[in-house]
Amino acid sequence: MFKLALQSLINRKNVLILIYISLSLSVLLFLGVQRTREISRTSFSRTISGTDLIIGARTGQINLILYSVFHMGNAVNNISYNSYLELAGREEVAWSVPLSLGDSHKGFRVVGTTDDYFRFFTYGKKHPLTFDNGAEFQDLFDVVIGSAVAEELNYKVDDSVIINHGAGKVSLSSHDTLPFRISGILEPTGTPVDKSLFISLEGISAIHIGWERGMETRKVTREQALAVDLSPQSITSAYIGLKNRRTAFSFQRIVNNYPDEPLMAILPGAALYELWSLMGIAEKALTFISGAVVLIGLISLLSAQMAVLNQRRREMALLRSLGATPIRLFYFLFIESFIMTAAGCLSGVFLLYAVQIAVSKIFSSSGLYLDLTLPSPSEWILLIITLAAGLLTGLIPAIMTYRKSLTDGMSVRS
Amino acid sequence: MIHLENALFAWPDEEALINIRDFSVKEGEKVFLKGSSGSGKTTLLSLVAGIQTIQSGSLKVRGEELKNMKCHKRDRFRGDHMGYIFQQFNLLPWLSIEDNILAPVLFSPVKRKKEKGKHHNKVRELLDELSLDVDLRKKAGNLSIGQQQRVAVARALIGNPELIIADEPTSALDADRRKNFMNLLFSECEKRGATLLVVSHDRELATRFSRVVDLESINGGAYV
């Protein structure tokens, strides 16, 4: 019976190949969207961990987490270094990392910080940063670069780098008299760290000597820079680790009510959640669309089956005359739909992996981590639902043919 | 072989199409049943083949009352003891010639047993007898109508069923081929001692039959 069904399918291959392709593609799309969603959610939540609070100038928490963690957008205001020192010096604080943002190198953000960054910043499951090559910055003009920066720009340790003023990819104003030496390259993390360059806070001060209101008024040489007092005046934000997480809310209150300037502190987990739920609408829309695509694939399978139903009544009458029971005819059509949907699902999954391998080859340095894993339980459920829906659509023509073959008998009364 | 008594059948919401008081076909007999179109010929064959069942009266094939059998039993019975030839669309165009001929063997264990596992050789024998020289793997849809009808005969004969039923088997053939085809069908049935029941509106076919029955003379039902 299986062979018979297969032969019958092969006979109608032209139409069915198209349906098969649309089924495979819709399964691919459906699973692909689900998988991207899961991957982006995990890579999203693994960008920062172990940091209890993020401090910045008063703004929205989404804005603050965007620029301090994702290095996207700009700070509305700086916070004075003294305020930072005072807050970081409180007894609840276990560690703190200041961040000074606003400069870039060939489209990659430059982060001014201290070497505490490499000691205390953790991502994922409390992974600390590790060096692939070299070490943290020693000198004023040392820079540590992320793995994606190194790969994309083909940088090695001891190469020299010019930092641009501002965050654009093309910048006319560059601090070109003050080249930086690469002291270390970080291991890939799959977080925005990969796409960042790190220099000391003093380095940030140094490259801004002679700049007033974003305009370069005079050129500064390395020697001149070293002669000036480079202790930082302001920073953009800071990561805070507390001795006891339970003090997070009270510390947050202290920061929010800081008398000298308008500051705010956010809990990274809550901010990430809010950011994610903002993207959740797009995510839901995508899921809905990909679900609709699967539905369309199934409907086209159904319509193709229905279109030839009348023509196939003769076929069914013939099979009955040979001794096939209506139940057998029912199975026959059922197996046909099963072969179709199963093949569609299978090649959809196969395509998914093919695409994933291709994508991970292309974007291996982009920080988007695509782990090649077996289908997750939820993906299995989606596949089973698709298969079941496919079988249900196969049942409709099967039931109709069954009924017709009962009443038709051998004379096809059309 | 076949015995009808007061057999009554009507399609849903229609007047009785088949109303036969008494009609029987003996074993080995070759009966030509003639009737104009719409007289219920095909319906009668469906009843004899057990695809439809009469609503009252009696219809026995090989001494068994068909309407008392369960649906799947009747299907099995038909598959085991009958060979059926249609007026057209006789073959599954997407199957090879060989698979078409072997389809009844697939459905019926009795026919399989009768061929003693040598059904592949039997296909060749049958095609030789029918003087059809074609590649067995060829798709049936690629054959000419005349060739298709001969393959249909081979399929009806495989497994040596006791009863061969043909429904307007020659309507798709021209006059010359029609005669050849009937001769072939006749000699094959005679060789096997099979009972042959042919229905047609074409009176010219009647010549060689042992008995010619006008359906209208035995059927009291209303014509559509």
Q: Which of A9-23, A79-93, A161-175, B8-22 has the lowest mean pLDDT?
A: A161-175
pLDDT in tens, A377-390: 878 888 888 888 88
| Residue of A321, A325, A330, A413 to mutate for B, most B C-beta atoms under 10 A | A321
Question: What's the Cα-to-Cα distance from A190 to each of A104, A186, A195, rounded to whole Å?
Answer: 20, 11, 9
The pLDDT of residue A214 is 56
The C-alpha of B42 sits at a distance from chain A's nearest C-alpha, in angstroms, of: 6
Summarize the confidence of residues A369-378 as an average pLDDT: 68
Summarize the confidence of residues B155-164 as an average pLDDT: 89
The pLDDT of residue A173 is 56
A residues 312-331 lying closer than 8 A (beta carbon) to B: 314-315, 318-328
Percent of chain A residues past pLDDT 90, beyond the cut? 15
The pLDDT of residue A413 is 47
Q: How confident is the model at residue A183 (pLDDT cuts 50, 70, 90)?
A: very high
Residue A6's nearest CA partner among A243, A401, A338 is: A338
The pLDDT of residue A264 is 92
The pLDDT of residue A41 is 77
pLDDT(A95) > 90: yes
Token pair for residue A325? 């029971």
pLDDT(A336) > 90: no
Q: How confident is the model at residue A211 (pLDDT cuts 50, 70, 90)?
A: low
Cβ-proximal residues to A332 (8 Å cutoff; 6+ apart), any chain = A1, A4, A5, A8, A319, A324
To the nearest whole number, what is the mean pLDDT of chain B?
A: 84
Burial class (CB in 10 A: 0-12, 13-18, 19+), A301: buried
| Residue of B84, B90, B112, B158 to mutate for A, most A C-beta atoms under 10 A | B84
Token pair for residue A115? 């070497």
pLDDT(A198) > 90: yes
Question: What's the Cα-to-Cα distance from A344 to each of A286, A287, A357, B26, rounded to whole Å?
Answer: 21, 19, 20, 55
Q: What are phi and psi of A12, to 5 degrees?
A: -105, 35
pLDDT(A238) > 90: yes
Summarize the confidence of residues B67-87 as an average pLDDT: 86
Q: How confident is the model at residue B224 (pLDDT cuts 50, 70, 90)?
A: very low
The C-alpha of B131 sits at a distance from chain A's nearest C-alpha, in angstroms, of: 23
The C-alpha of B79 sits at a distance from chain A's nearest C-alpha, in angstroms, of: 4
Question: What's the Cα-to-Cα distance from A384 to each of A27, A379, B49, rounded to whole Å?
Answer: 11, 9, 42
pLDDT(B115) > 70: yes
Summarize the confidence of residues A360-369 as an average pLDDT: 58
| Contact assignment for B42 to A318 by CB distance below 8 Å | no
Strands A127-128 and A122-123: antiparallel
Summarize the confidence of residues A138-159 as an average pLDDT: 89
Token pair for residue A334? 């059922």
Summarize the confidence of residues B161-169 as an average pLDDT: 88
Strands B163-167 and B195-200: parallel
Domain B27-52+70-214 adopts which CATH fold?
Rossmann fold (3.40.50)
Helix axes A2-11, A326-362, angle to 10 degrees: 70
Summarize the confidence of residues A227-247 as an average pLDDT: 87
Q: How confident is the model at residue A94 (pLDDT cuts 50, 70, 90)?
A: very high
| Contact assignment for A322 to B99 by CB distance below 8 Å | no
More confident residue, A390 or A249: A249
The DSSP call for residue B87 is S
Cβ-proximal residues to A52 (8 Å cutoff; 6+ apart), any chain = A240, A241, A242, A245, A248, A251, A267, A268
Q: How confident is the model at residue A237 (pLDDT cuts 50, 70, 90)?
A: very high
- Following DSSP, what letter does each residue of B32-77 receive, concatenated? EEE--TTSSHHHHHHHHHTSS--SEEEEEETTEEGGGS-HHHHHHH
| Phi and psi based region of residue A129 (left: phi greater than 0; alpha: psi -120 to 50; beta: remaining) | beta
pLDDT(A62) > 60: yes
Percent of chain B residues past pLDDT 90, beyond the cut? 2
Contact in structure between B205 and B25 (CB atoms under 8 Å): no
Task: Give the torsion sign (CA, A350, A351, A354, A355).
Answer: negative
pLDDT in tens, A154-175: 998 888 888 766 655 555 555 5
More confident residue, B170 or B60: B60
- Looking up tokens 């008594």 gives B5
pLDDT(A367) > 60: no
Percent of chain B residues past pLDDT 70, beyond the cut? 98
- Looking up tokens 């067995």 gives B136
Q: Does A374 touch chain B (CB under 8 A)?
A: no
ipTM score of the complex? 0.79
Angle (CA) A343-A348-A351 rounded to 5° is 125
The pLDDT of residue A414 is 37
Smallest Cβ distance to B46: which of A7, A328, A410?
A: A410
Q: Does A166 touch chain B (CB under 8 A)?
A: no
More confident residue, A414 or B133: B133
Other Cβ atoms less than 10 A from the Cβ of A391: the count is: 17
- Following DSSP, what letter does each residue of A12-24 receive, concatenated? THHHHHHHHHHHH
B104 contacts on A by Cβ (under 8 Å): 322-323
Q: How confident is the model at residue B39 (pLDDT cuts 50, 70, 90)?
A: confident
The C-alpha of B40 sits at a distance from chain A's nearest C-alpha, in angstroms, of: 10
Q: How confident is the model at residue A189 (pLDDT cuts 50, 70, 90)?
A: confident
Percent of chain A residues past pLDDT 70, beyond the cut? 87
Q: How confident is the model at residue A31 (pLDDT cuts 50, 70, 90)?
A: confident
To the nearest whole number, what is the mean pLDDT of chain A?
A: 81
Angle (CA) B88-B92-B93 rounded to 5° is 95
